[in-house]
Amino acid sequence: MVETVVTVERTTTTQTTAPGGGGGLSALKINIGYFTTVPGILKLVQFVLGIICMACASPAYVSATSFFLFVAVISFIATILWIFAYLLGIREALTVAVNWIFTELINTAICTLLYFIAFVVQLAKWSGYPNTYGYGSNIAAGVFGVFIFLAYAAGTYFLYLAHRSGSNY
């Protein structure tokens, strides 16, 4: 009779994690690479031009400047939120069913439209007040409004292309 020998080895593996590891913030990763792309550079240009627009238009002496500052501040806050979303990789860390490119496209398109209205109103209103206090800075705010409008329009265009191609950046 033939004997069969069976050897059984039991191995156990243990996994240890660092204290505090695996928490909610561990999924966030710093993503500087996005800001080397054209949409990332445009986002930084929008940030800088937003600061310049707010600085030139403050304080608001006429109602047109109040609207211009409203648009500048709301767009600035939205731009900061998108910068942090890309910088910290929040889009990748959240597992929610949100079309981020389309959401950003709608946001940027609204900012583009609002900046177009704001710079036209700002320049039209202040062109009637030459030689008054704040004339130069408010005209400069309107001119920088044209530049930031162009930056948002370019951002909208690139987001539209990304949305059509199905890209996620």
Give pLDDT, residue 81.
96
> 157: Cβ–Cβ under 8 A, 6 or more apart, which residues?
none
Give pLDDT, residue 11.
72
- Residue 61 in domain: yes
- Residue 4 in domain: no
- Residue 111 in domain: yes
- Residue 17 in domain: no
Residue 19 has pLDDT above 80, yes or no: no
Domain count, the chain: 1
Give percent above pLDDT 90 in the chain.
66
- Residue 66 in domain: yes
Locate 114 and state its tokens.
């609002």
- Residue 23 in domain: no
- Residue 14 in domain: no
- Residue 19 in domain: no
Q: Can you tell me the distance from the alpha carbon of 40 to that of 79, in angstroms, rounded to the nearest whole number?
A: 11
Q: Can you give the residue range of the structural domain that contains 94? A: 29-139+149-165
Residue range 49-83, pLDDT digits in tens: 999 999 999 999 899 999 999 999 999 999 999 99
104: pLDDT confidence band, cut at 50, 70 and 90?
very high
